[in-house]
Amino acid sequence: MSAQNPCMSCGACCAYFRVSFYWGECQSAGGTVPDSQVIAVSPHLVAMSGTEQKPARCVNLMGDVGGCVRCSIYEQRSSTCREFAASWEDGSHNPSCDRARAAHGLAPLEPLEPLWQPPQTPEMTPVVA
């Protein structure tokens, strides 16, 4: 995540949904997700621990939702985590992002979310001899 990423001051989806995925993504099966951080929820699916219950909150979510947050296994997180896009991150709306934010009293992200904009750099000016 970049410094401009609004997810870094949100974390609502990690504390709202059941975050489940195929067990083959676990380290014991050759994947990346630490086995100690998941719980089996079906013969083929596991969920991030803490998200299988209500209220849900992944054990790897550090910080306060809506404040400064981070994922303690960011590089090892599952495909479900990687593929969940914040609204307008890639130009498209994700109603599930809105729903998770609303559940935590956070307003939906806007299509022109200023936090998604890259840092401003000085304009290149041609040098005229």
Contacts with ligand SF4, residue ranges (CB under 6 A):
6-7, 10-14, 19, 48, 58, 60-61, 71, 73, 77, 81, 84, 86, 97, 100-101, 109
Distance CA 54, CA 18 (A): 9
Distance CA 71, CA 90 (A): 21
Q: Which is nearer to ligand SF4, 107 or 127 (CB)?
A: 107
Q: Which is nearer to ligand SF4, 36 or 121 (CB)?
A: 36
Q: Which residue has the tokens 């400064």?
A: 68
The least CB distance from residue 71 to ligand SF4, in Å, is 3
Ramachandran angles phi, psi of 14, nearest 5°: -75, -10
The least CB distance from residue 13 to ligand SF4, in Å, is 3
Q: How many Cα atoms occupy the beta-carbon half-sphere of 122 within 13 Å?
A: 3
C-alpha R_g of the chain: 18
Q: Which is nearer to ligand SF4, 44 or 100 (CB)?
A: 100
The least CB distance from residue 120 to ligand SF4, in Å, is 22
Q: Which residue has the tokens 């992200």?
A: 109
The least CB distance from residue 20 to ligand SF4, in Å, is 10
Q: How many Cα atoms occupy the beta-carbon half-sphere of 45 within 13 Å?
A: 12
Q: Which is nearer to ligand SF4, 115 or 128 (CB)?
A: 115
